[in-house]
Amino acid sequence: MSQDTRTTIKLMTSSATAPDGYTSFDVDDVLARVRADENVWIHVDSLHDTAAVRILEHFGLPAALAQQIDSSVPLQSETRSDRYVFKKFRFLAPASSENADVPKRKGSRVFIREARVDALREAGGVAILGEKFLLSFDDRRASQLFDAARVEIRSRNEIHRGIDYVFYRLIKILVVDNYAALFRQFADRIQDTEDILLEGTAEPQVYQDAVRLRRELNPFGMSLLYAHEFARLLVREKPAVLSEASLIFFSENLVADAAVLEEEYSMLRGRTSELMQMHRDNANTQLNNIMRTLTVISTVFLPLSFLTSFYGMNFPNMPALKWNGSFPIMLGVMAAMSWGILYYARKHRWL
């Protein structure tokens, strides 16, 4: 009996009452529970070639597809068939300490180009859809989103609606629902940064936070574009294993959801631009306040400097030099001039 401790295989089948779930490291143990008359979804974490070949052979699929499942291998062989649909996909997921250092791989990308920000990581895999089965392979460390999709699909007993509908729901959860949740987090972070900027701060760290938000948002643009292409490609190919109802889900629902996400993405990018502009405005305002204060101070001392320099000239016959009390009189005149200039500046709200 073949067993691979590095590969976790998760099975979901439909039953008369509720979907059954089963998890094992043993490929043969899982396949022994598969019934031909039930809808079957098998998800493989931490893919291993031996497990992939064994599963493909059980469902009568070409063993050569095992080489195409690895994301490091370009998609070269013909994967279109009347019996199955073979699709690679990518999506963004929050990075964590245990998977942030996952090596980047080259391959056929559907949803997204390689992410270059450390707050998010590129995840994905392969889906093979048949008439009664869905096989999904995680091409790197297991994503929690796959488990979340399995839990939601099982809790709603959606596998009874058809395995092609499960395929649609899987893509929707990984992309649409996932991105909607991430965008809400971005919106909250943007609001927090905006509240700080509205207080008038011009701290460099706040500007760096705004720039980081913008950088983290950038990969979503290409990802959403590929989501549109993914749905349109399925509709254009019209594979035999996809029902007309499922094609409508992809052609209308998924495309419409992607359009909504694109609008929200554009809105979030616009708000990050506003944050950076607000920071610049705050910095300019602070600079203007400083320059205005320095200008008023210079204006106050300009006539005082003139008086002191004027009476500092070494001429013997200058008026008022030998008056009694000339020094305190001059100090009084200078104080009166300073007070007058300050009063004029405050009256005109220069200070």
pLDDT tens for the 351 residues of the chain, in order = 344 446 788 899 886 555 678 888 888 999 998 988 889 999 988 666 778 889 999 999 988 888 877 655 554 444 667 888 888 888 888 775 344 343 343 333 344 334 444 678 888 788 999 989 999 988 665 567 888 888 899 888 888 888 999 999 999 999 899 999 999 999 999 999 999 999 999 999 999 999 999 999 998 988 888 888 888 888 888 888 888 888 888 888 888 898 899 999 999 999 999 999 999 999 998 888 888 888 888 888 888 888 888 777 777 777 777 777 778 888 888 888 888 888 887 887 776
User: Would you tell me how many other CB atoms lie within 10 Å of the CB of residue 158?
Assistant: 18
Q: Are residues 130 and 187 in the same domain?
A: yes
Domain count, the chain: 2
CATH number of the domain residue 80 falls in: 3.30.460.20
Helices (H), 176-254: 178-198, 204-237, 244-248
Q: Are residues 242 and 333 in the same domain?
A: no
Q: Are residues 237 and 153 in the same domain?
A: yes
Does the residue 300 lie in any domain? no
- Identify residue 256 by its one-letter amino acid code: A
Relative orientation angle of helices 178-198 and 255-310, to the nearest 10 degrees? 20
pTM attached to this predicted model: 0.75
**Which domain range does residue 327 map to?**
311-351
Task: Tell me what pLDDT residue 107 has.
Answer: 38
Q: Indicate the burial class of 243 (C-beta count within 10 angstroms; 0-12, 13-18, 19 or more).
A: middle
Q: Are residues 127 and 180 in the same domain?
A: yes
Task: Tell me what pLDDT residue 281 has.
Answer: 94
Q: Are residues 187 and 74 in the same domain?
A: yes
Q: Are residues 245 and 322 in the same domain?
A: no
Query: 40 pairs with which residues across the strands?
Result: 13, 133
Does the residue 303 lie in any domain? no
